[in-house]
Structure formats: C-alpha cells, structure tokens
Amino acid sequence: MDKNKRGLSRRSMLAGTAAGVIAPVVVSASAGSAPAAAAGMTRNITVYADYVPGTTRVGYGLEPGKPTIPGPLLECYEGDTLVIELVNNTDQRLSIHPHGVNYDTKSDGSPFNDSFNKPYETKTYTWKTRTAYQAANGFWMPGSAGYWHYHDHAFGGDHGTVGLMKGLYGGLIVRKRGDLLPSKQFTVVFTEMWINHQVAPNTPIFEANLGERVEFICIGHGNLMHTFHLHAHRWADTRTGMLTSATDNAPILDNKTLDPGNSFGFQVIAGDGVGPGAWMYHCHVQQHSDDGMSGVFLVRNADGGMPAGAQEAIDRFKGHQHGTTSSTPNATGASAHSHH
C-alpha cells in the first residue's frame, strides 16, 4: 500500500504535541463535542525549513532534516497564541506567513515588512487568535475559527512564488471550543497540476476505516483554478462541513472551487451510506483530472481489512493513463506544463 499518506490520527497528534502538532483532546468517530480547553493558551512550536533530501525542493517539518510536503498541520483554539520558532536550515532567505490569524508587522513573513529568516537564521513569529466579539455599534466581529493555511513569502523573490512552487506550505486550523474533533485528518493541496506536489498515479492514498470521522483540509496555490471533488461523500457548505440542526438548510456539496490562496475544510464519516471501498478524489476541471490531478480515498472495512475489490480498483487507477511527463514535477519543484 502507498505509504505517502498525509493523515494523522488523533493519538499520533497527541504524541507529537510537544514537537508542535496541536491536538487538545482525543475524540472517537462517534463521540460528542470536545470538552472546553483553557482559554488563551500560548503554544510554542519549532518548525524547521529544510531541503527535501535528494532534491532542490524545500519543506517545513517538526524535526530538523525531515521536511514534509505539505508541512505539518498546525491547530489551536480561538483565543490561543501560536509562537512559531522557524529554523531556516537552507542557504536562501525564507519565511512563514499565515492566513486567518492576527500578527504584527514583524511576524508578517513578507519582505515588504522586512519579515523573513536570513539563510541559516532562526526567527520567531507570533500568531494570535480571538473569539467573536460584539462591537460598540452592536454588530459582531468574527473570530478566527476556520480552515486556514501558511506558506513562505520570501524564498527566491518578494512574493513567495518560488517557495510555494518548491513546497513551502501547510495547513492551519483554528477551532471553536466545542467543535467535533476527527479521528483522521488529511491535507490536500492543489498547486498548478499537482496534488501535494505529486501527480497520479503517485498522488497520496488517504486511508480510514469504515465509520471513522475524517477531516479534509483543502488548500489552493499556484496560478490555476481548481475544484475539489470527493466521490460518494458529501458535506455542508459551512465552517465545519456539518449542519447545526435538523432545520439547517446550508447547501450540501461534493465538489467545491479551490482557487489559489483559498482554503476550506470539512468532516465526513468514512463510507457513511455507501460502505467501504476505493473512492476517487480529484480536480473536476477535466483537463486537470486527465493530466494527473486525481487520487484515492481508501475506506477500509471497520476492522481495518481491505474491502473486496478495493485493491483491484487501486491497481486499475495506477494503470490508467495520467497526462504526460510534462506535468510531472521535477526535482526542482518546477513543471514544464504549459497550462498557466
């Protein structure tokens, strides 16, 4: 089975909390809301920027010399502060710039504000979050809760373009207290014609057992418009992908636009109503799907066993024609694909 899975169980995330991946509590697929955590926690995270061994790609990681693409999924609750110590282990300047949270100009992560790490420099970035509050005029100001992301803004230029093309990006979740927590999480990043810097048949195979609560974090980068489609599973077009009541009439989706710089997330119950099996996820811009922007969401049996017919489906997927070599990212993280 493909080992390139960008999924983390709640328990593995808890084990990594000291290293910087945040998971306040463990919740099973059938559990209720998460118990309230202490307000206003400060969470210190060390993130390392390194070259991916054997390539000129660059990624973020929680250990020196072990970058991943995407980078680690960072989480907190509204009201928390994230203090990111970024260690630049490369010979180029780079930074870390977040979406959806508050920061001062020193933590902006952009050359515009002279906010970046010089080669081999360590620098601290502070991200703050807040809960919704009522303004003096009676209107409510939004809190920070949402599915966000972070990325470089300084590698090879002043706008982060080169860093993004090399793999310097990751997911960021800010939760409301009481949100349901998943058993599995998958970060899916569409950049140009790649999914997590890969093209089919080498795209990630995401795995969950039947009935597990699964969270997808979808992020768009690059220059192309995409859509994210997940076979046989649906979600509500809300902050969490779930309905708040039986009378909540939020639109129900199985396909959503994912433009550059956009992000969204949702939760589903793996195989709910359809059973276990190998289910496709892909960009629904048809040329993009043809050129390798597709992958597999494998829903195993409840006991973790392989469902009947699933391995054959995966073998067929790997045997399909997926675009041309011109859409395959090379060791530099660049692509010769002409559709820009």
pLDDT 10s digits, 244-265: 999 999 999 999 999 999 999 9
Higher pLDDT, 307 or 10: 307
pLDDT 10s digits, 163-193: 999 999 999 999 999 999 999 999 999 999 9
In this model, does residue 129 exceed pLDDT 90? yes
Higher pLDDT, 161 or 17: 161
Parallel, antiparallel, or unpaired for β 263-269 and 213-221?
antiparallel
- State the SS3 of the chain: CCCCCCEEEHHHHHHCHHHCCCCCCCCCCCCCCCCCCCCCCEEEEEEEEEECCCCCCEEEECCCCCCECCEEEEEEECCCEEEEEEEECCCCCECCEECCCECCHHHCCCHHHCCCECCCCEEEEEEECCCCEECCCCCEECCCCEEEEEECCCCCCCCCHHHHHHCCEEEEEEECCCCCCCCEEEEEEEECCEECCECCCCCCEEEEECCCEEEEEEEEECCCCEEEEECCCCEECCCCCCCCCCCCCCCEECEEEECCCCEEEEEEECCCCCCCEEEEEEECCHHHHHCCCEEEEEEECCCCCCCCCHHHHHHHHHHCCCCCHHHCCCCCCCCCCCCC
In this model, does residue 238 exceed pLDDT 80? yes
Confidence band for 328, pLDDT divided at 50, 70 and 90: low
Q: Walk me through the domains of the chain, giving residue ranges and CATH numbers.
A: 39-177 (2.60.40.420), 180-322 (2.60.40.420)
Please give the average per-residue pLDDT across 302-331, as a whole number: 83
Q: What is the pLDDT of residue 29?
A: 30
Q: What is the pLDDT of residue 281?
A: 98
pTM over 0.75: yes
Please give the average per-residue pLDDT across 282-289, as a whole number: 97
Question: In the chain, what's the furthest Cα-to-Cα distance?
Answer: 61
